[in-house]
């Protein structure tokens, strides 16, 4: 009898410096790792011929920018780092070369959208006008680049103004992880003593017609000291969680939706983690198919009209 099994999706929030545009002091190591992390991730996915959803901040498609953005309803202040700390750092705010690298890759990646300038849609201060301006600009610059993004990722997974997305041609978004985050101690205990895996999520059709594909696991939620301590005890706990998630997806329906930023790859342990995660996904690909957000949206919508 036909038994539907789960699948695995990897979504990548490709933003370089934009993830920190509203920080008073952007973390230097993360900003500095944006480009190298992006290249590394591309290469690792190439090596294993694995497809992913790259949710790209639209502004990255500009070749250059004066950082003024006078016609953006969020106001010019939002873009202050472009005129200040990053005035000579076009490499952290513009990256058509890197987006082209993804497009030209062997694996047929899904290039989606992560707004125009990383405005948090779910923030109470984000007006409908501002959200629409972000979508309008992102769509414009991506269209001009020959891209037709259908998958959307909200900055910080902060969901808002969902009904606007369909007006700009989007078909899916990444929603919030369905269970409350557990404490680090709890997570470590679960991993150390066996059992437990990240949730397999069920894609849902939102009122707007978009497919919500919630997150299962952010791959870099264990960081720094906790990561190093745990690695000594049981190996990388996040890799273990992914392996258990894949085991579960081989047995039951649902999506193991993993995500990260290229700028999470700040050093060797972080690079090793994603390499191990991709190795695990590759090893199980016959049992647990690899999909993109666009693939999931397509099959969910097809199932709905059937």
| Interface pick for Zn ion out of 32, 65, 159, 226 (rule CB under 5 A) | 65
Residue nearest to Zn ion (CB): 65
**Helix spans in the chain (H):** 28-48, 80-83, 90-93, 96-103, 128-144, 162-167, 184-192, 224-234, 237-251, 268-283, 293-305
Strand partners, 204: 212
CB of 274 to Zn ion, least distance (A): 17
- Nearest residue (CB) to Zn ion, 57 versus 256: 57
Question: Partners of 218 in the beta sheet?
Answer: 259
Nearer residue to Zn ion within complex by CB, 65 or 250: 65
* CA pair distance 271, 143, nearest whole angstrom: 32
Helix-strand-coil split of the chain, %, nearest 5: 45, 10, 40
- Label residues 13-46 b or e (16+ Cβ within 10 Å = b): bbbbbbbbbbeeebeeebbebbbebbebbbebbe
Q: Is 80 in the site for Zn ion (CB under 5 A)?
A: no
**Whole-number minimum distance, CB 305 to Zn ion, in Å?**
33
Rounded (10°) angle between helices 224-234 and 268-283: 50
- Which one of the spans 28-36, 61-69, 98-106, 196-204 is the region binding Zn ion (CB under 5 A)? 61-69
List the one residue from 12, 15, 86, 115 that touches Zn ion (CB under 5 A): 15
Query: Is the CB of 85 or the CB of 234 nearer to Zn ion?
Result: 85
Does 19 participate in binding Zn ion (rule CB under 5 A)? yes
Give CA–CA dist 171/204, Å, rounded: 12
Residue closer to Zn ion (CB basis): 102 or 248: 102
Nearest distance, CB of residue 144 and Zn ion, angstroms: 15
Q: Which of 6, 8, 11, 13 binds Zn ion (CB under 5 A)?
A: 13
CB of 205 to Zn ion, least distance (A): 25
Q: Is 134 a binder of Zn ion (CB under 5 A)?
A: no
Q: Name residues contacting Zn ion, limited to 136-175 (CB under 5 A).
A: 155
User: Which residues would be at the binding site for Zn ion (CB under 5 A)?
Assistant: 13, 15, 19, 65, 67, 82, 155
């Amino acid at each position: 009898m036909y038994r539907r099994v789960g699948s695995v999706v990897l979504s990548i929030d490709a933003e370089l410096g934009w993830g920190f545009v509203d920080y008073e002091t952007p973390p230097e190591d993360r900003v500095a790792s944006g480009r190298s992390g992006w290249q590394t991730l591309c290469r690792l996915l190439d090596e294993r011929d694995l497809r992913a959803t790259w949710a790209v901040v639209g502004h990255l498609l500009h070749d250059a920018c004066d950082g003024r953005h006078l016609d953006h309803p969020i106001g010019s202040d939002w873009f202050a780092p472009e005129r200040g700390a990053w005035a000579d750092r076009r490499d952290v705010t513009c990256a058509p070369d890197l987006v082209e690298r993804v497009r030209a890759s062997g694996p047929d990646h899904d290039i989606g959208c992560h707004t125009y300038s990383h405005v948090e849609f779910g923030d109470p201060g984000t007006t409908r006008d501002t959200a629409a301006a972000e979508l309008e600009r992102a769509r414009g610059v991506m269209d001009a680049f020959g891209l037709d993004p259908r998958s959307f990722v909200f900055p910080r997974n902060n969901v808002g103004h969902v009904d606007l997305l369909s007006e700009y041609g989007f078909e899916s978004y990444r929603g919030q992880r369905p269970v409350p985050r557990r404490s680090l101690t709890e997570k470590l205990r679960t991993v150390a003593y066996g059992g437990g895996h990240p949730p397999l999520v069920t894609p849902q059709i939102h009122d707007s017609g978009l497919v919500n594909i919630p997150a299962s696991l952010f791959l870099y939620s264990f960081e720094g000291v906790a990561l190093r301590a745990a690695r000594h005890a049981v190996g990388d706990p996040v890799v273990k969680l992914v392996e258990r998630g894949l085991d579960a997806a081989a047995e039951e329906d649902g999506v193991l939706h993993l995500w990260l930023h290229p700028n999470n790859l700040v050093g060797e342990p972080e690079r090793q983690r994603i390499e191990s995660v991709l190795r695990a996904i590759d090893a199980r690909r016959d049992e647990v198919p690899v999909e993109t957000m666009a693939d999931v949206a397509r099959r969910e919508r097809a199932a709905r009209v059937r």
